Structure 1
Amino acid sequence: MDLSHVVAGLFQKCLECYFEETRVWRLPKLRPPASEQQIAAWEQICGQEIDADFRGFLRLTDGMEGLYFTMSILGCSDWEAGSLRTLAAREYAESVSSGEVHDDVGLEDSVKIFPIAVNADASDGIFLIESLVAPERIWWTGQGSSRFFGTFRNLLEYCTDRSLYSPRDTVD
């Protein structure tokens, strides 16, 4: 399935959740696409190669707000502007890196992580990872849980319908 159809399916799911219970969910919002120059600059900030599906996502929409799991996916413009979300995302990444979370899930200390989503209270986040031991590129962790996804598309599929992908909770 084309990535744009996966994003459309997730957006539809977010809208359904919004209209079912507006006091919990925010109205979902797509943004204009990121340019190739913005994506290249984001990759420099990130310090690792962007997952191909995440790159494709940024070409469709430079981030997404109001996801049904109460996070916003950060886009290139968030990092350019130095938004409060990116500050919270960096702080959460530092707390995850400095804690025992790596050991708990089997990641080596030298793993590169970069936040691509974080919830409002910075207790749940999704990271682009580059690891010597984990074949996955996406790690969703927080509030005592951990899920590894092969690609960003797998994450979007999981968020749309949990039967479409089964993430691992440890690297081991």
Structure 2
Amino acid sequence: MATTSDISKGCFFKQDGELLTVLSYDHITPGKGNAIYSTKCRNVKTGKQSEVRFRSGEKVDIVRVTIVEMQYLYEEGDSLVCMNQETFEQISVPKVAFGDAIKFVKEEMILSIRFDDDEQPLDGVLPKHVELVVTYTENGIKGDSTSKSLKAAEVEGGINVQVPLFVETGDKLRINTETGEYVERVK
């Protein structure tokens, strides 16, 4: 069995019969007493976030996972139907497995899906960046290229993003899927 030193961002572990994934963790060393691992976690089934604390050296039931590259085909209720690129097998992955990044998922996108030993989908990871076309934005002020001012823009899928003033309707933008922030304009 693993210990608290094996905890890392993205790992899965069982706590009180629930399967959790680590979103972030801190190693806290108070002035007096033992060190503490404070982890921010998300329940794989419900999507509910919580904080779990461990004493240093405490045993943790870490779950081993398999990562499979899959292509997103279509949406079906509260799930996304994805196809294994090698076997062409189709499975349903719950939307909650993607967290807030679900809004960036587009058809035919290649996703990394993590499975447990029972071949149940645990979560999905999108590519770091997606390219989306601006569907609406106000006109910027001509000649204002020196300031770091931002304006609101709507991109494909109805997603609102803050962009520089020079971005216009019809431009293709690279967006970070983890933060939802503008990265650059794509030619």
TM over 0.5: no
TM-score range, shorter chain: under 0.3
Structure (1 or 2) with the greater helix fraction: 1
More strand by share: 2
Report the structure number with the largest CA radius of gyration. Answer: 2
Structure with the bigger RCO (C-alpha within 8 Å, sep 6+) is: 1
